[in-house]
Amino acid sequence: MSELDGVWAVDRLSGALPPLNGCVKRINGERGTTEFPLAPGMPFEVRGLELHYKPPFTMLVDKLEPQGGGYLGHATMLGREFGQFRLRRLNTMDQLKAQLVKHIDEAHAMEQNVLRMLDGMIATTDDPGVLDALEHHKVQTQSHADRMAERLEAHGASPSAVKQFGGVLGALMKMPLDFVRGEKAGRNARDAYATEHLEIASYELLRRIAQKAGDEETAQTAQEILGEERAMAKLIEEQWDTFTELSLREEGITV
């Protein structure tokens, strides 16, 4: 086992390095990855105390020197130093908390995406009963997003703008299709049913990770949200006959 094996938090010290909040290096033997919350990982090879990045970042090399219980890092490009950082080894609880924050952030981004999806569904739904259910769930969904933002703040983090933008973009791309596609009632119900189960799965994972990380407040919040997501999924499930009739009626079919 190499002395560098493990998961290391990266703290920016000086130079032209970007903000490194949430950045970690995962090292196993001769391989490793520098990971950022908002971007894909950057793989590298471990050569002694040097980390040589793989294409397309081959011009980058991190040079490490022992310092206290961690390492002082020198970020270099084409052999010239442009910044310094510190590596701190993360223990199991630190890693658990980092995973918890990631899952809370993903849940928040998911709820933002669902809000935009519900806007599209509300705009293309004529049935009064279905419309009432969607508008009620939109209020719940906004509450879910707010509660996840609060849990991020409790951990000293903030929502990922990149993930939010990805969710908004996906919803905006979907909305024009909602207006032109046939069988809007049935397809909207299908999309909502699938989304509810994705949310249920996400909060089941979040609840369990929060419990292992000792964050009972987040675990309880996830449990309460789960109840509302399951209720919405059940409501849709009980209305499949209605959605089927509405879809066929939209196509001019009377059975």
How does pLDDT run across 52-70, given as a tens digit for each residue?
A: 999 999 999 999 999 998 9
Amino acid 252 reads G
Q: pLDDT (tens digit, 9 = 90+) per residue, 110-138?
A: 999 899 888 888 887 777 888 898 899 99
Question: What's the pTM?
Answer: 0.69
Which pair of tokens denotes residue 240? 């499949």
Question: Reduced to 3 states, what is the DSSP secondary structure of residue 59?
Answer: coil
Give pLDDT tens digits for 158-207: 886 544 434 433 443 344 444 334 457 788 888 889 999 999 999 999 99
Low-confidence winner among 43-52, 73-82, 192-201, 208-217 (lowest mean pLDDT):
192-201
Q: How confident is the model at residue 1 (pLDDT cuts 50, 70, 90)?
A: low
CB distance 235 to 242 below 8 Å? no
Token pair of 16 as six digits:
């032209």
Using alpha carbons, list the distances in angstroms from residue 68 to 65, 71, 148: 10, 7, 37
Q: How confident is the model at residue 38 (pLDDT cuts 50, 70, 90)?
A: low
Which residues, listed in sequence order, are joined to residue 11 by a DSSP beta bridge? 86
